[in-house]
Amino acid sequence: MKRKRGGEEEGMDIVWQTPANPPHPHDYVFRNGIRFVRPYYFEFIAHVKNRWAGKTIVDLFAEEFKGRPYDYYVSAVKCGRIQVDGEIVSVSYVVKPSQKISHFLHRHEPPVMACDVVILQKEPDVLTICKPASVPVHPCGQYRKNTVVGILQAEHGLAPLFPIHRLDRLVSGLLILARNAAKADIFRQQIEAGLVHKQYIAKVVGEFPENELIVDANIDYNAREGRSTAEVRDSPKGKAASTKFTRISTNGTQSIVLCEPITGRTHQIRVHLQYSGHPIANDMLYLSEQTVDRSVKGWSADRSARISNVSLTSDLDEVLNACEENSNEDFSIDPMCTNCPNLAPKGYDGDEDALWLHCIRYTGPGWTYECPYPDWAKLV
């Protein structure tokens, strides 16, 4: 879809994308083991909330979307890259509740590891894949094309897909996707009825107890901090949570542990392992000062993890600098874009892109799906 926004510089041929535009293999740029997305023009749509009403269009963006400077929003309104109800307005325009706001911008997505999204099983109604760490499952936040769903559509023509369970961006392993809404609903009902058994493996700090360990501790998630805490079972804080752990192997310094969550809370396995005194050995979000010396001090989860022998953060600064120097080879520079000439968006630090936590198996009524173990599961 080609549209020239009012006030755009003469000669600029801009193709605006919406969520209806599918990802394409040409959208990706691969460099030094990293998958970048070639920046593209995208229409973000929002509707005016009650608390936004009464603000000028520029003040609204400057106060609510602080990723860009005030002067950018002034210019964007003047040239029509920010519109209200499909119309160009003045910088002093005061917004009203429920009005449609469109922001047409040059979108840069964060990079991810350039690992293949390996298809494990392909059935008429179900697709299972081995999700690489660092890649989100579906569009969220800054990610749209650099997602499992986006990559499968671009590289394999697989759409629509309905993920039937969550895997955090930092987690790798088995991901089950229904290929139609009816099958997705069947999976949903089985999960809600407690009929699905989930198994993960983790590499943790220290010598994990030989006997089976069940952790019953409430999970209290703090959305502002992006992390959870474990509370005693009878605490008024958090939601009830239970996880069963079984040691698979140990070398005395680290252990490989089978993790079987009975409930499904945010960061449940990570928090319950921390609660047990054996946090995931490269999980800098939940490693305490006492345990960090026994694990990978100085390395974040992302710096220490390697999937298919590729590390996203290896020489990251060098790679990003090279991308900046050669960016004109891969995409056109937008004169108004606050991220150009970089491929990656500003503020991306590359420090949180893998975790030693891997989904290996899901079992339900009459079905089982599995994923191979990762290389880090071998202790030396």
Q: Taking the alpha carbons of 14, 337, 58, 140 in that order, is the dihedral positive or negative?
A: positive
Q: Is the peptide bond before 236 cis (omega within 30 degrees of 0)?
A: no
**Whole-angstrom Cα distance, residue 264 to residue 268?**
7
The active-site residue out of 59, 168, 216, 351 is: 168
**Whole-angstrom Cα distance, residue 287 to residue 211?**
23
40-47 vs 16-17, strand pairing mode = parallel
168 part of the active site: yes
Which tokens hold the place of 69? Answer: 């400077």
Task: Give how far the C-alpha of residue 318 lies from the chain's centroid of Cα atoms, to the nearest Å.
Answer: 23
Residue with tokens 């502002």: 224
Give catalytic residue positions: 168
